[in-house]
Chains A and B, each alone.
Chain A
Amino acid sequence: MSKFKVNLKINNIPVSVDEGTTILEAARKLNFNIPTLCHHDDLCVAGNCRVCVVEQKGARLLTASCATPVSEGMEILTNSMKVRQARKHIVELLLTEHNADCTKCFKNGHCELQEISNEYRIGDHVFIDLLQEKDRVQDISSPAIVKDDSKCIRCQRCVRTCAHLQAVSALAVTHKGNKMRISTFLDKPMNDVICTNCGQCINRCPTAALTERSYIDQVFDVIYDPSKFVVVQTAPATRVAIGEEFGLEPGTRVTGKMVAALRRLGFDKVLDTDFTADLTIIEEGNELLRRLKEALVDGKDVALPMMTSCSPGWIKFQEHLYPEFLDNLSTCKSPQQMFGPLAKTYYAEKVNKNPADMIVVSIMPCTAKKFEAERPEMRGSGYKDVDFVLTTRELGMMIKQAGIDFNKLENEGYDSILGDSTGAGVIFGATGGVMEAALRSAYEIVTGREVPFSNLNIKPVRGMEGVKEAAIKIKDVKPEWKFLEGVELKVAIAHGLANAKALMDRVKEGKADFHFIEVMACPSGCIGGGGQPIPTTMEIRKKRAAGIYDEDEHMALRKSHENPEVIELYEKFLHEPLGHRSHDLLHTHYYPRKRH
């Protein structure tokens, strides 16, 4: 469809843009920066905060530039006296209801409201402060997300995120007038509602109304405690994003620097969740093959399609909204939760440490992992398997607090054991990655040959399309897998829970005959996780994904079943995939939850 061009002038400079472009987008094209708060590139237009107002020549009222499409002959001023004054007043009004305790705020230095207040040097209280003492209450019921209404400017980015990107709507606009707030069902605590803890709202909140529950102090405490042996694991997606906290381009691969920084922070051993990602592939791949065998050979009524279980936001989503499909979820724990019990059993024995004195910390791109670690069933080792979960952002903060000049660090490697990984483990960080890693191994296990894709790159499962589908024909199988001869393995991948819901509804209606489904709760997968550096946009996420695939291509080994430490783990400890020990330590079960 060819688009009509619209001609207008912004600050007296002529510009021609596609019909339907907003004034804000047209101004950006000319490099005029208009501040925004409720606007977000990932979300639909709201137009409620008004800080983006501009003056249109001939119009009596100012116009919200984020919500107004351009029209022919328009003349816009983005910085007239009227605009400047209005914008300043708007920010001042927002501040009358904002708990501006910036120095002790978790978002200090990363707050969009603070940034725009700074630009206008707003300090004097022109208007009466409306925030009351009783409003200064934080909801800390959730182990993952802190909700602080005294910081909220009611821009509703979180509401739109929760509804449109995640199809959860745990948060909604409630009450009205001066009592209007962003709240949950019956104003219940966050931990008691349908919230999946995905943290996408945090990634888009312009202030500190929604933040992760921080465990920085607790982690420093155990690091300083000489009686504790503190090991840390790092998720795949952190290594292509942590650099952003230090001014590097999104997607910059800083694995070596991150490892060095963790060592300097005082962790006793720096290990890798990528190792257990590889292990997940072995367990989950075998689980899939077993389910297929049971369905195709034994004629058993097994739950298919099998669905991945790495994403704790997705798990909670299923428990709330599709409890009838819990049997379809792989029983495999997520890589984080496979790491915990292995560290406190197999690894503790190897390094001769008492697991009671061991602390496992994870660095995750995720807030839901904080919730996952608290699940009562995650105690396979006899201890709490993962003690503390930090987001990528929290790690950035710790590195700064410790005075480590991140960008000048020399690359260092992970400790052994539980530190070795393959490219297949790394790509868990991007949507489609678990599927690709699983296919690389499963296909080879069944046929003895590599997957028939150039350089092992299974392109059809990559990319940012909401729901991806692929089929791979299995031919010339090994004798023990002859029931799979000629089978076309059908897979689907969804990222972002709204896409997952669309896919689940197809499955529910019986309109999807997939064998295996990968779902990541967050848009673009873990690289777009709720614990990743802020801001997030599609462009940023694409760069991080490129970083992930680049990291994969640079790995010596790129198939999970070739990870030597994983092979050793099976020889010396687990003995076989889906075996007795695996069952005790690496697999779990799920519980239906109420839909509210």
Chain B
Amino acid sequence: MTRIEEFVKEQAEKHGRERSSLMPILQAVVQSERFLSEEAMVAIATELDLSTADVFGTASFYTFLDTVPRGKNIIRVCKTITCHMKGKDAIIATLEDMLKVKLGETTSDGKFSLLQANCLGWCHKGPVMLVNDEIYPEVTPEKAVEIIREYLKKTK
């Protein structure tokens, strides 16, 4: 049994093997591994007696359930209309420049992924940026650089 298979099994023990257990298990794997690998999805399908296509179908519906490898920190800049009008493009451009990646990519050292997100519900304090589970309202390009620098320090 591989490490992932064991992890999935533990999660199945915890959350059950019903179809409704799929979501918490997917979330747990993403929490731990930052994305759902092919191996992880096969393990989940096997454990829950579902088809792999079903598992992938569910995962691909949710933006936060990634099926491609992501960096240790995931930056998501809100792309919806209010944040757009308040200048999210400038933030993205600055971060692209700082991290030397394009939107959707992960830095070569694996420390950051730069993504967009749909409305995060902070329209009154846009533009907003989400790093992992932490929300940063009213960011400016300068503030964004500062925030990411802090994460850079913390990330080995």
Contacts and interface: CB of A to CB of B under 8 A. Distances in A.
Interface in A142-200: 163, 168-176, 183-186, 193-194
A186 B53 CA distance: 7
B41 to A, nearest CB: 7
B117 to A, nearest CB: 14
A174 B60 contact: yes
A449 interface: no
B42 A170 contact: no
A397 to B, nearest CB: 31
B42 A596 contact: yes
B46 interface: yes
Interface of B: 38, 41-42, 45-46, 50-57, 60-61, 67
Contacts of B50: 169
Contacts of A173: 57
A172 B42 CA distance: 15
A353 interface: no
Contacts of B56: 172, 174, 183-186
B51 A169 contact: yes
A595 B57 contact: no
B73 to A, nearest CB: 25
Looking at chain B's contact residues, the main secondary structure is: helix
A135 B75 CA distance: 30
A46 to B, nearest CB: 15
A176 B61 CA distance: 5
Nearest to B63: A176
Given A185-B41, A186-B38, A169 B61 contact: no
Chain A interface: which size bin? 10 to 19
A170 B55 CA distance: 11
A238 B38 CA distance: 41
A71 B41 CA distance: 44
B57 A172 contact: yes
B52 A185 contact: yes
Contacts of B46: 595
Most B Cβ at <10 Å: residue of A168, A173, A193, A594: A173
Contacts of B61: 174-176
Contacts of A170: 51, 53
A45 to B, nearest CB: 19
B94 to A, nearest CB: 28
A172 B38 contact: no
B57 A194 contact: no
A174 B52 contact: no
A176 B62 CA distance: 8
Contacts of B60: 174-176
B53 A184 contact: yes
Contacts of B45: 595-596
A193 B61 CA distance: 20
A186 B66 CA distance: 12
B67 A172 contact: no
Contact of B52 (A163, A176, A596): A596
Query: Chain A CB within 10 Å — which of B53, B55, B67 has the most?
Result: B53
A184 B54 CA distance: 9
Given A175-B60, A175-B61, A176-B61, A169 B54 contact: yes
B57 A168 contact: no
Contacts of B51: 163, 168-170, 172, 185, 194, 596
